[in-house]
Chains A and B, each alone.
Chain A
Amino acid sequence: MTCKEFRDVAHELLHAENVAVESVRLGLAHTLVCEECAAYLAAERMLDEQLGELAAFHAESEAPPRVERALLAEFRARWDGKPTKRAVFWAAATSPRWAAPAVLAAAAVALLVVGALHHRNASSITAHTVPSQTSPVRSQAAPSPAALLASPAADSAQTANADAAWTNGFVALPDSATGDSLDGGAILRIEMPASALASLGLPTTGAEGDQMIPADVVVGQDGTLRAIRLATD
């Protein structure tokens, strides 16, 4: 090993994890025959100690509490005291945990769309599809499980927000469209953290924030989520 090669690895010799064993062996052997490099290594060692003292001096240094207070104030101001329902819902819905349910939901919606095209004139509605609130089919059809999404008020207030009309525990999701767009929709069973459900206005009393709770969501024909409720069975 030459003196230049030694200088290149002198620092690493003091931190064996950064250098190959062979380099350590050669480097230390070099110090036995080169007084200057031995001194250089000693200087490196002393510098390590001095830097270590400086690091130790500030080892407990951290931002004063007022920084955290200021940041939390900014955070609360930004979120206006609480997260928006939409943000919480989509954060949960787009997490990897929901990748599989999302794919299933998309597949279900696609199947329903295809089915709706083939059976447009059929009067029966499958148990998991949602009738159009304006469709003539609905008025002729016998009561079906899909009616759980409809309410007496819905017909008389088609322009009103659907969440005010739906019963059976369904809550309209933020920015969801009115019932008109639910034609051919589907109800899917998913699981969501209690905290996310609570932020959407669903009662999750007694549940831990991260506890997964089953819920039913209404998926519109356009693939968007329209409403949600706690699973009833």
Chain B
Amino acid sequence: MVQKASIPTDDALIRRLRSGDEAAFTTLYREHQAEIYRFALHMSGSHSIAEEVTQESFLALIREPQRFDPTRGPVLAYLFGIARNQVHRAFERDRRFQPLAGDQTLDDLPSASAAEADAERSDRAERIERVRRAVLSLPAPYREVLVLCDLQQRSYAQAAQQLDCPVGTVRSRLNRARALVMAKLSGTAVSRDAGERTPGRERAAFLRLRAGGRI
């Protein structure tokens, strides 16, 4: 007789985790760690911070599993909430990762150029590096929606749930974030106070792109 294999739900895994089931924790970790790690990596530009954030997020699940409330959303959203707080804490601790007006120093991040040393790939590597710097230059509220929606392919609704804000806020922040990245990539300086709308600058940015024949 063949037994059907069933995939335990996150809720079931959390219940088992609460009772000390190591296999349940391992399953949860392996299922979600990459998402959390990449979110922290895109947010910080640092593998060491991403590693630390991932570890702290799951440590919280180990230490206080009762704080997860399945009625408020899935486990991943809960983990994202913790990861988000950890990223902000890391920003507070290390001002190097605060958004700056100019380019940042990504000292502990293996550059795309190094990772893709082949000459034929250098253009692509350079492009990726520029985009990464532009994303890292965004203020955190804009960066996180861009990371979730554009880099991690979350829907607006999912991002809203993970950021605990209305869908409309996600949408407007994403539009703003993209405009700022576009301006950055076109060579237009990004204001430190990026929350203030600068439509003239954005317009100048894409007009410059167009004038340069890039679009």
Contact = CB atoms under 8 A, between A and B. Distances in A.
Interface of A: 7-8, 11, 17-18, 36, 39-40, 42-44, 46-48, 50-51, 53-55, 57-58, 61-64, 67-68, 70-72, 74-76, 78-79, 82-84, 87-92, 94-95, 195-196, 208, 210
Contacts of A87: 18-20
Contacts of A58: 38, 41-42, 151
How many B residues are at the interface, by size bracket? 35 or more
Interface stretch (B47-55, B93-101, B188-196): B47-55
Nearest to A89: B19
Secondary structure type dominating chain B contacts: helix
Nearest to A12: B171
Contacts of A195: 21
Q: Which of B131, B152, B209 has the most CB of A within 10 A?
A: B131
Secondary structure type dominating chain A contacts: helix
A196 B54 CA distance: 30
Interface in B22-36: 22, 25-26, 29-30, 33-34, 36
A71 B55 CA distance: 7
Given A58-B38, A61-B38, A91-B18, A50 B55 contact: no
Given A64-B51, A68-B26, A78-B62, 12 more contacts: A7-B175, A18-B155, A50-B131, A51-B146, A53-B131, A67-B51, A74-B59, A75-B22, A83-B19, A87-B20, A91-B18, A208-B3
Contacts of A83: 19-21
A63 B131 contact: no
A78 B25 CA distance: 13
